[in-house]
Amino acid sequence: MSLRINFDVINKIEALGSQGMEKCYNCGNCVGICPMELNILPRKIFRYALLGVHDKLIEEKEMIFSCLLCKRCEESCPSDVPISENIRLLRYYINREEFKI
Ligand code: SF4
Ligand code: SF4
């Protein structure tokens, strides 16, 4: 699986209105509180998005679509990352790029 950085992907995700993903510093607080135990959301997923690693976002689409958008993780985030809004945005990106909808 390719890990090639893709600036077109970075630009597309930015254009969709991504907010504050770069503020995540991988502390892990959000992992323990997630009812779905989504242990790489958002720590790795947002990193893939920031680097434009399209293939990894597609590889993890099941996890991205498993999120309940409950926002519990945001309550424990010391960086106030708008996690659920960014997940919603990544779903839109995947739907558009992968499923053409
Ligand atoms: S919004 Fe998603 S990632 Fe955050 S706690 Fe809820 S299910 Fe987990
Ligand atoms: S709690 Fe916030 S800063 Fe910590 S890993 Fe989760 S999103 Fe990143």
Give domain status of residue 33, yes or no.
yes
> Is the residue at 7 inside a domain?
no
Residue 44, domain member (yes or no): yes
Residue 85 within a domain: yes
Domain that holds residue 65: 22-97
* pLDDT band, residue 2 (cuts 50/70/90): low
Question: What does the alpha-carbon distance between residue 16 and residue 11 come to, in Å, rounded to a whole number?
Answer: 9
pLDDT score, position 1: 54
Residue 13 falls inside a structural domain: no
- Is the CB of 70 within 6 Å of ligand 1? yes
For ligand 2, the distance from its centroid to the CA atom of residue 80, given in whole angstroms, is 8
Return the residue matching tokens 């893709």: 6
Could you tell me the maximum CA-CA distance found in the chain, to the nearest angstrom? 36
Give the global pTM.
0.90
pLDDT per residue as tens digits for the range 76-93: 999 999 999 999 999 999
How many domains in the chain? Answer: 1
Alpha helices in the chain (DSSP H): 7-15, 29-33, 43-51, 54-59, 61-66, 72-75, 83-97
In a domain, 9, yes or no: no
Q: Which atom of ligand 2 lies closest to the CA of 31? A: 6
Angle 30-47-9 (CA atoms, 0-180°, nearest 5)?
A: 135
